[in-house]
Structure 1
Amino acid sequence: MLMDVYLKEFRTKKTLIGLGLGQLLSLLSTSNGFTSSELARQGINVPTSQTFLNYVLLAIIYGGMMLYRRSEIKIKWYYYFLLALVDVEANFLVVKAYQYSSLTSVMLLDCWAIPCVLVLTWLFLKTKYRLMKISGVVICILGVVMVVFSDVHAGDRAGGSNPIKGDVLVIAGATLYAVSNASEEFVVKRNAGDTIELMTFMGFFGAIISAIQISILERSELKAIHWSAGAVFPFLRFAVTTFLFYSLVPVLLKTNGSTMFNLSLLTADMWSVLIRIFVYHEKVDWLYFLAFATTAIGLIIYSIKENDLEEAVDEEAERKKLFDEDGDLES
């Protein structure tokens, strides 16, 4: 009886912490989306430069912690390089999509990363999914398809110059995000590395790759920008919020898993729609609501099953731990 109470309390605290972290990440994601949209409306189209400061902050702050600890590197550097390369290009594609599509489309299509994560974990991490999970993925994909059709239906009301091109960019970026998220989850859950090491090398290599890409693709655009407070402040705000987002994601992945992370980010899509309607007084095509509802249903279906599985694993681990402790005391 006492053990059951302990396990229930453990799961409750873990869930509450995950919900809190998840909603904070959702708010940060929403803020980043609106900042990118704001810069695009000002004609500032430098997606790699926009994320560069985040990588610099990660390298300096977490690199300083790593040097202070003087810990050995647990994973080969070239794995972190590949992970940073994927992450930089994912950010580039998604941020660039704001030039062509609406905020709502970009944030909804970001859900494409979720079924991609499931496929990647099934192929490379050997995670097994039941029929209910597969059904949830299929419904989620249908929601993504509806977003594309909604942009076609909305036409010039979609909020971008070329919504279909924006959709393609964000789907490609979301696929790369899936690769990055699955890799990060592997690192933090399998104890092959730690969060500080991960963030250090993500920032270090991300900054180098971004700097090279900026010098090739965005040098002329940066020179043409009139660096007033209206341009500088969004850049700094994006850097700080993205740094916080990157810092908290591994924590949530390690404590609650990718399901809680993905489900939490889903609320960012809802908030973005509400802000567009009530703050910016923009028209939102009715297919967006149907797409959002369909995607949400699909996510909830597989998330419920995932939570059941995670709780069963946690309970079994805690039971084993308690039995081991009881055996030590008796001996």
Structure 2
Amino acid sequence: MVCFNFNEIKTKKTLIGLGLGQIISLLSTLVSFTASEIARKGISAPTSQSFLGYVSLAIVYGGIMLYRRSTIKVKWYNYFLLAFVDVEANFLVVKAYQNTSMTSVMLLDCWAIPCVLVLTWVFLKTRYRFMKISGVFICIVGVVMVVFSDVHAGDRAGGSNPVKGDFLVIAGASLYAVSNVTEEFLVKNADMIELMSFLGLFGAIIAAIQISIFERGALRDIHWTTEAILLYIGVALALFMLYSLITVLIMINGATMFNLSLLTSDMWAVLIRTFGYHEKVDWLYFLAFATTATGLIIYSMKEKYQEEHRTGEVVDEEAVQRKLLDEDDEPGT
């Protein structure tokens, strides 16, 4: 029989994870609002917005890495593949908003959560018990309530091509899951500074190539006013803070906790619309926020059975990860 230790909610690690997750969720919401403001000005260049974020990561963390003269702990092509997946995930989800409704994006974006659970279970040997699964389920219930609230409030815009948009969301969510799990593996076995440096470097290179191919004409037609420049700078700063905090949260609580925390970003958007733009929202939003927050708290709790076996499981997981790194360093592998 599995017993729950509710006193574990008071642990420092749990509180840090919950608080950090909500800061990340709020930052993600602010990035979305800024990006939508850029789109309202007729600027259709999604990759160019993330480009400056990658450049800032490369400059700041790359400078720290050069100052420390750190040795590279993981092969460079691992970071290149991670950056490629991350850039394309951002691109696909932003493009999805142009084809399908916000309701569909919100619902289908949850696909990243089961993907992360499967990937961490298969590759990182993470064990999920009843408490964790219950927390995930309650979080998803909260998001479904948000979707029903949108329908109840009349958000029935289908988009120009709903099938294409839904497919883009599913593809983007799957890539986000791969990116998050890869980051969890690298940050726990290499170094945060090294991860951010190479993610920024290769992300900037890949984004620049993609911009030159697909968005060069759109950028050429932009009327670069002071407001437009400030919006781009704002997105870059927000993305820099977002990626930095994401890495810390993944290092402390794992990729699953990060993806669950992002579920509350829609609720933060509601609060911004309510108090910033004085828009009326459906009461289900607030119930959904409370439900998702409850799921996050339950996911963060520890089970007594899990705690008793935690030491052995962590040792096994770390041993598997070290073995993978050692095999990667062998010639011909």
1:154 Cα shift? Answer: 8.0
Give the Cα–Cα distance (whole angstroms) in 1 for the partners of residues 130 and 308 of structure 2: 20
Letter in 2 for 1:94: V
Give distance in 2, aligned partners of 1:136 and 1:10. Answer: 13
Aligned residue for 1:204? 201
Matches of 1:101 and 1:19 in 2, distance apart?
31
Correspondent of 2:298 among 296, 304, 307: 304
Q: Name stretches of at least 5 consecutive residues in structure 2 with no aligned partner.
A: 1-6, 316-333
Query: Residues 259 and 306 of structure 1 are in contact (CA less than 8 Å); yes or no, is this contact kept in structure 2?
Result: no
| CA distance 1:148–1:104, shift in 2 (3 Å) | closer
TM-score, normalization by structure 1: 0.77
The structure-2 alpha-carbon separation of the partners of 1:128 and 1:314, relative to structure 1 and needing over 3 Å to count, comes to closer
- Rounded Cα–Cα distance in structure 1 between residues aligned with 2:36 and 2:162: 13
Partner of 2:225: 228
- Equivalent in 196, 211, 216 of residue 214 of structure 1: 211
Q: Counterparts of 1:10 and 1:147 in 2: how far apart (Å)?
A: 26
Q: What letter corresponds to residue 237 of structure 1 in structure 2?
A: G
The aligned amino acid for 2:200 is G
* 2:63 paired residue number: 64
Q: Which amino acid in 2 is paired with 1:307? A: M
- What is the identity, as a one-letter code, of the residue corresponding to 2:242? F
Cα-Cα RMSD: 3.8
Give the partner amino acid of 2:295. Answer: I
Any stretches of 5+ residues in structure 1 without a counterpart?
Answer: 1-7, 321-331
8 Å Cα contact 1:139-1:294 kept in structure 2? no
In the alignment, which residue of structure 2 is the partner of 1:113?
112
Q: 1:282 to 1:122 in 2, by over 3 A?
A: same
Cα distance, 1:172 vs structure 2: 1.9
* One-letter amino acid of the structure 2 residue matched with residue 300 of structure 1: G
Task: Report the alpha carbon displacement of residue 127 of structure 1 after superposing the two structures with TM.
Answer: 2.4
User: Which residue is equivalent to 1:54?
Assistant: 53
Tell me the SS of whatever aligns to 1:53: helix
Matched, 1:241 2:238: yes
- 1:125-136 equivalences under 5 Å are 125-130=124-129, 133=132
Q: What is the CA distance between 1:292 and its match in structure 2?
A: 5.1
- Larger RCO (CA within 8 A; separation ≥ 6): 2
May I ask how many residue pairs the two structures share in their alignment? 306
TM-score normalised by structure 2 residue count: 0.76
Query: How far off is 1:284 after superposition?
Result: 6.3
Q: Deviations over 1:240-276 (max 9, x none)?
A: 0000111111111112333442343232221112333
1:255-311: CA deviation from partner (whole Å, max 9, x where unpaired): 23334423432322211123335544667689x8599579839x828x735631598
* Separation of aligned partners in 2, 1:284 and 1:100: 24
Q: Residues of 2 paired with 1:283 and 1:205: CA distance?
A: 43
Distance 1:9 1:273, change over 3 A: closer
The corresponding residue for 2:322 is: none
Pick which of 85-94 and 40-49 moved more: 40-49
Shift in Å at residue 41 of structure 1? Answer: 2.0
1:273 aligns with 2:270: yes
Residue correspondence of structure 1 range 1-331 to structure 2 within 5 A: 12-101=11-100, 106=105, 109-130=108-129, 133=132, 157-158=156-157, 161-162=160-161, 165-189=164-188, 191=189, 193-277=190-274, 279-280=276-277, 289=285, 296=292, 300=295, 304-305=298-299, 307-308=301-302, 312=307, 316=311
1:169, CA displacement in angstroms?
Answer: 2.4
Q: Which amino acid letter does the alignment assign opposite residue 223 of structure 2? A: H
**Residue identity matched to 2:72:** I
8 Å CA contact 2:143, 2:263 repeated in 1 = no
Could you say what secondary structure the match of 1:218 adopts? Answer: helix
Could you tell me whether the CA contact under 8 Å between 2:105 and 2:166 is conserved in 1?
Answer: yes
Q: Note the alpha carbon deviations across 1:152-208, whole angstroms, 9 max, x for none.
A: 89887549555554443233212111110001111122x2x1000000110111111
Indicate conservation of the 8 Å contact 2:138/2:295, yes or no.
no
Contact kept in structure 1, 2:80 and 2:202, CA below 8 Å: yes
Distance 2:203 2:239 in 1: 13
For the residues of structure 2 that align with 1:163 and 1:291, how far apart are their CA atoms? 28
Per-residue deviation at 1:54?
Answer: 0.7
More displaced stretch, 152-161 vs 111-120: 152-161
Question: Does structure 1 conserve the Cα–Cα contact (< 8 Å) formed by 2:25 and 2:261?
Answer: yes
CA distance in 1, matches of 2:215, 2:29: 25
In 2, Cα distance between equivalents of 1:21 and 1:202: 21
Structure 1 residues 264 and 218: alpha-carbon distance in aligned structure 2, compared to 1, 3 A threshold: same
